Structure 1
Amino acid sequence: MDIIDKKILAVWYVCSITKEDPMQLCIKKTSLSEEYLSQRISALEKNGAIEKNRLTEFGRSALRIVLAGGVFDIIHPGHIHTLNAAKALGDVLVVVVATDNTAIKMKKRKPLHHETLRQELINSLVMVDTCIVGNDGDIFKTVEIVKPNVIALGYDQVHQEKFIIDGCRKINLEVQVARLQSPIPEFSSSKIEKEYGEAIHGL
């Protein structure tokens, strides 16, 4: 299976979550003609990777799905590095942004940006295949929808690998957990906000 086939299957996978039209998203993501894409899609249908406009289990097995999550209230270079590193672990990167309620629990403050705006910002990043808003209270409900092969954790995320692996096993999902490192750990949204606030007050 070549890179174009994988890109097509990745789009079909994304559309299973977003409910977008896969052909239109394929044209947008690959810049290939509809006629050429139709030929490639027909070939994928013949080999059993796509069936009735959906990804089959065989087609899904050809992809390595990576899930990463966070609040992403202020996008900074540390986020970009982490998401690039997460994308390098597989074929498709799905990012989950925390709900406003979850963000308040995690950060002990209201986020600067509403969850839908944070989702829109992350969706605009080139390495991200799709971004969804998480579930309040139960991260495994989102994991069950995405069914990732890999869950990528940022260097500063508090989740323990064993907690994630055990939770995934309860929903019959075997995952690999990857702890990503940042070359610039001094960057954090909270620190940027604090320093910006101090600078504003100092004017």
Structure 2
Amino acid sequence: MTRTVIAQGTFDVLHPGHVHYLEQAASMGDELYVIVARKSNVDHKETPICAARQRRDVVAALEAVDEAILGHEEDIFVPIEEIDPDVIVLGHDQHHDEAAIEDELERRGIDCEIRRAEGREPRYEEELLSTRLIVDRILEQRGNRSP
């Protein structure tokens, strides 16, 4: 029997931290589906820079990912219902309330495990594992340039 795993996130400006998260999620099952958030669902941090389809396409290109899909615009649980996973893997620093997710999954009759991926430390001094840090570095180094 195939063990299906879901990972999800914004994945704006893909970086090694994202790759680590998705590789770890893939190791928890046989098939990894990644739900890429639409801009309309990102309300806990800055709006993504890249378009949702672009972010999905870049995530889909990763070896660990079997399929990347766009999230539902109104109800983030719709793709989870459609995929019916065995495991949902949350990123180590994602803001989600695991108990609230478990309650909603139970309410919808979705029986799956919720797990957290482990974070990883930078492997060298200049390695950036955060979209926010990458954007900050771009603005710091190139923000004052004329177009």
Relative to the length of structure 1, the TM-score reads: 0.65
For residues 98 and 187 of structure 1, the distance between their equivalents in structure 2, rounded to whole angstroms, comes to 19
Q: Are 1:99 and 1:133, in contact at CA under 8 Å, matched by a contact in 2?
A: yes
Return the structure number with greater relative CO, CA threshold 8 A, min gap 6. 2
For residues 170 and 81 of structure 1, the distance between their equivalents in structure 2, rounded to whole angstroms, comes to 31
> What secondary structure does 2:81 align onto?
helix
Counterpart among 170, 174, 187 of residue 129 in structure 2: 187
| Superposed counterparts of 1:140-155, under 5 Å | 140-155=77-92
Counterpart among 87, 104, 107 of residue 45 in structure 2: 107
Give the stretch that moved more between structures: 150-159 or 131-140. Answer: 131-140
- Identical-pair percentage: 34
**When you count helix as a share of all residues, which structure comes out higher?**
1
Is residue 67 from structure 1 mapped to residue 6 from structure 2 by the alignment?
A: yes
**What is the one-letter code of the residue matched to 1:99?**
R
**What is the one-letter code of the residue matched to 1:108?**
E
Aligned-residue Cα RMSD (Å) equals 1.5
For residues 65 and 159 of structure 1, the distance between their equivalents in structure 2, rounded to whole angstroms, comes to 20
**Counterpart in 2 of 1:200?**
142
Q: Residue by residue, what CA displacement relative to the aligned partner does 1:81-127 show, whole Å, maximum 9, x if unpaired?
A: 11000000000000000012123x23233x22110111111111111
Q: Are 1:102 and 1:136, in contact at CA under 8 Å, matched by a contact in 2?
A: yes
Q: Considering only CA atoms, is the larger Rg found in Structure 1 or Structure 2?
A: 1
Residue segments in structure 1 that go unaligned for 5+ positions in a row? 1-61
Q: Are 1:165 and 1:174, in contact at CA under 8 Å, matched by a contact in 2?
A: no
Q: Residue by residue, what CA displacement relative to the aligned partner does 1:25-69 show, whole Å, maximum 9, x if unpaired?
A: xxxxxxxxxxxxxxxxxxxxxxxxxxxxxxxxxxxxx11100000
| Superposed counterparts of 1:28-43, under 5 Å | none
Give the CA deviation at 1:202.
5.4
